[in-house]
Structure 1
Amino acid sequence: MPRPRPSDTATLQEWLDYLESLHRTPIDLGLDRIRAVAEKLKLELPFVKITVGGTNGKGSTCAMLEAILLASGYKVGTYTSPHLIDFNERIRVNGDQAGDADIIRQFREIEDTRGDTTLSYFEYTTLAALMLFEQQKVDVAVLEVGLGGRLDAVNLVDTDCAIITSVDIDHTAYLGDTREKIGWEKAHIFRAGRPAICADPMPPQTILDHAGEIGADLWLFGKDFNYSGDRQQWAYGGRSQRRSGLAYPSLRGANQLLNASAALAALEALRPRLVVPQQAVRIGLSQVSLPGRLQILPGTPTIILDVAHNPHAAAALGQNLDNMGYFPHTHAVVGMLNDKDIAGVIAKLAHRVDHWYCASLEGPRGTSGADLADAVRQAIAATTGKPTLEESSTEVRRAASTEGGRPGVRSVALPPVEARTVKVSSFENPVQAFTEARKQAAENDRILVFGSFATVGPVLDELGRKAT
């Protein structure tokens, strides 16, 4: 049952609560409803539009495009999802989050215009972002696809350039259970005669076929654009443009050069409309930031935040963890939604983690900490064969020591890696799980927080509160 329309003095949170109650199902893919309301709103969208889809890497690619375009002097609107802490993160103009009043103004206009057409939460907020970008007269809009592509609300936009970052298994209930099916859904963000950038090194055939069928200008990684690099710098090479002597992006991770090269390919393809100097690329890549993507916090123990929530992303996360060097123990705070491949995700990280802190997530899609802990034990047994114990069953042996090290540094007495018992425990929420992980971790250990935006967001918020 929908809530009553918010009053004229309603807060943004009251509006968001209303939007969640408005439509019969939270995820209801299709363009008929949003297109009908967009026509009533008379949206024109006279700016350059770049749409970014893919299984993983969308957020990083959007952030790099935004940073480079801002450094080039353009007025940029950026729409991404989901958010970590505040809804306002989803809609940015010139790098600044939209204010509550500006967002509420768009919501009111949509509500006054939509008539009997109900919109999902994501459809409603997508329209609000587009309306705000139009009112703010942005030069360029960078738009992240929410789910899939063909029927996602963002695909309402007749994009000037589309990017697919990667294709892997996720959202199988909506997109299909193979890369070919998922690739076909994502390929529908391409437009006839316009640049279509695919950064997946091994794209599904369905992407190639659909691009050919509609006559899109397909740019393939390894054929139309590529990158090379050494320890000091890297270079981008496209069809007719080369950018060399580039510093590595400030975003950490093994796949960031792939994302950066996709962004630069899009900018090369749009060269007739967008002028992007070499210095703007350097500045943008050096300044780009994106919370929750291999975000490493200062201090000890080392804390790593990553929203990885599918096997493809977890594999990349595992590679990045391996590249960080030696840590005596790794403590993993994890919370996941029940429609994710939990076993597949845990399997990619199972042999890297010594203690799992499984957190319950709220909502109908949330997995309880107890159920997640059971899934973790099963995945560990299947992947590593290691025994698992509840936290209260064992003790981590730590002692203050000065032997062979600096006074005051805590050393850890460890059995051989293959002999260690992996500990698994469950908690009511991510903050509680993280709090316990910090109690258990020694100064030279590391704590990984991952599995969902709904896991990383509350922990990041808690850390921010304590910092202030």
Structure 2
Amino acid sequence: MTYQEAIEYLYAKTPVFQKVGGAAYKPGLETTHYLDTHYCHPHHSYRTIHVGGTNGKGSTSHTIAAVLQAAGYRVGLFTSPHLLDFRERIRVNGVMVSEDFVCRFVEEAGGLVEEVSPSFFELTTMMALVYFREQGVDFAVIEVGMGGRLDSTNIIQPILSVITGISKDHTQYLGDTLPEIASEKAGIIKPSTPIVIGRADEPEVLEVFRDRATQLSAPLTLASEAVPLGAIHSEARGQTFEVSDPSLITPEPLYFELGGLVQADNLRTILSALRLLREEGIAISEEALRKGFREVTRMTGLRGRWETLSEHPTLICDTAHNEDGIRYVVRQLMALGRPLHLIFGMVSDKDVRGVLALLPQSAKYYFTAASVPRALAPEELRELAQPYGLHGEVYPSIREALTAAQSAAQPETDVIFVGGSNFLIADLLAIQSTNNDK
């Protein structure tokens, strides 16, 4: 079996949420527990850190992994979805899982697939856990796929759990209210295991987390209270933070390679998690901490977080795809004070109207669709956008939208932004990769 055959088998034989949405959603842990028993509980071979939340869990997972790598540990990282290559989901010290292992695992799992019909995410979760055992990792940072309580990753027994924050997303599966969503996310809180809550602005959300933590005797840390921040300074790439906590780092500003206003919340969350890991006796020097923040994209392969891809005109992309994430993006776009060209596309099962209501009317829009079945037709997106004062043209693909935006934008002043969907960013990065290879 070749690597391409293995990937085609996975997509053909296991329902993929990334492609078909709700038809692939399979709540419950029975199948994952069955797989876990079959593979002799691979996650018992190393220490795990579990990261959930609505937004920010990707940045948080990657940065924690980068700091641990910088501290000299061998670190597994499991995240989703991928942007360009399936193997992005499973990394050890930043290196993607080998094609050979993917082929071997898929071939050996064929009988199980026929026997218990796992979802794509159930099977790939187990693939990651088995790979990390084979690779002899010291730690594995495991990102929740969706929700928490019934997510396939929730079979692990972590040394630390993190919930970055709560906002409305996947409401058809997790609930219509923030407390309902918080209850699902709180499902990753484990007995007597420290839990970090990144952002819980609503008292009723915080109450859900506190109640769950109290029931399970899980020490709870609120990142917003644990890590005071001073001034924040934007750089050409990334930003620096004044961290007012000498128990964590010395007073020199901390540079964080990731841009975007949302990273202030993520930074508090990550630092809170790292402090707890230190308290667990895990050696993390200040030098390692600074290096992890400074070099997170190089060390882990993270892409698409307020990422500037080119200049003249400036081309920026961000994977934010729900109201909470888009709200941060719009604030940052408006703060630029420059003419905006927004290439925008969404998937059909999101709160499209809620997102459109946040977008700036002053921008010129290029409505398009990602190359996945879940993508909302650009014609429908434009029609939905008009009542919000958002006007522009329809383009059948991001390539055509990008060409049009680059032709219309003034090279020295204008900004082109691409967003609304992870899958749209994936298409954009694929174009960039192809162009760079020429």
TM-score (normalizing by structure 2): 0.90
Aligned residue in 2 for 1:441:
409
What CA distance in whole angstroms lies between the structure 2 residues aligned with 1:230 and 1:251? Answer: 13
| Map of 1:96 onto structure 2 | 95
> Is the partner of 1:437 in helix, strand or coil?
helix
C-alpha deviation, 1:243, in angstroms: 5.2
Note closer, same or farther for the CA distance 1:455–1:223 as it changes in structure 2 (3 Å cut). Answer: same
Deviation at 1:228, TM superposition (A): 3.0
- Take 2:400 and 2:47, find their aligned partners in 1: how far apart are those partners? 44
* Deviation at residue 213 of structure 1 after TM alignment: 1.6
Show the counterpart of 1:458.
427
Render the CA deviation track for 1:84-103: whole Å, top value 9, x for unaligned.
11111111111111121112
Secondary structure at the counterpart of residue 110 of structure 1:
helix
The alignment partner of 1:348 has SS state of coil
Contact 1:250 1:285 in 2 (8 A): yes
Moved more, 136-145 or 94-103: 94-103
Task: Number of aligned residue pairs: give it.
Answer: 417
AA partner of residue 293 (structure 1)? R
Q: Indicate yes or no: 2:264 matched with 1:253.
A: no
What is the match of residue 286 of structure 1? 294
Which of residues 353, 358, 363 is equivalent to 1:348? Answer: 358
- Of 115-124 and 200-209, the range deviating more from structure 2: 200-209
1:264 correspondence with 2:233: no
SS at match of 2:142: strand
- For 1:228, which of 230, 233, 244 is the aligned residue? 230
d(CA) in 2 for partners of 1:453, 1:432: 18
Report what 1:365 is aligned to.
Answer: 374
Whether the 8 Å contact between 1:50 and 1:162 is mirrored in structure 2 is yes
Change (3 A) 1:189 1:433: same
SS in 1 for 2:130: helix
Distance 1:93 1:57, change over 3 A: same
Partners in 1 of 2:381 and 2:53 — Cα distance? 26
* Among candidates 391, 394, 397, match of residue 429 of structure 1: 397
Q: Which amino acid in 2 is paired with 1:62?
A: S
Residue of structure 1 aligned with 2:5, choices 8, 11, 20: 11
Deviating more after overlay: 89-98 vs 41-50: 41-50
Aligned-partner Cα distance in 2 for 1:38–1:376: 46
180-189 or 28-37, larger mean C-alpha shift? 28-37
Letter in 1 for 2:219: D
Aligned-pair identity in percent equals 32
Is there any run of 5+ residues in structure 2 with no aligned partner, and where?
234-239
* Mapping of residues 17-28 of structure 1, within 5 Å: 17-20=11-14, 25-28=23-26
- Aligned partners of 2:125, 2:137: CA distance in 1, in Å? 16
CA-based RMSD:
2.1
Query: What is the Cα deviation at residue 16 of structure 1?
Result: 2.8
Shift of 1:364: 4.2
Residue type at the aligned position of 1:361: A
The amino acid across from 2:86 in the alignment is F
Question: What secondary structure is seen at the aligned counterpart in 2 of 1:447?
Answer: strand
Asked if residue 39 in structure 1 is aligned to residue 37 in structure 2, the reply is yes
**Residues 196 and 170 of structure 1, relative CA distance in 2, 3 Å threshold:** same
User: How big is each residue's C-alpha offset from its partner over 1:8-66, in whole Å with a ceiling of 9 and x where there is no partner?
Assistant: 78633323333445999311121111111111111232212111111111111111111
Corresponding residue for residue 295 of structure 1: 307
Structure 2 distance, partners of 1:48, 1:236, is 30
Aligned residue type for 1:254? L
Q: 1:223 to 1:8 in 2, by over 3 A?
A: closer
TM-score, normalised to structure 1's length? Answer: 0.84
Which has the higher Rg, Structure 1 or Structure 2? 1
- Mapped contact 1:333–1:449 kept (Cα < 8 A): yes
The gaps in structure 1 that reach 5 residues or longer are 1-6, 381-421
Q: C-alpha deviations, 1:249-278, integer Å up to 9, x for none?
A: 010011213212212211221222421000
* Equivalent in the alignment of 2:237: none
Change (3 A) 1:109 1:244: farther
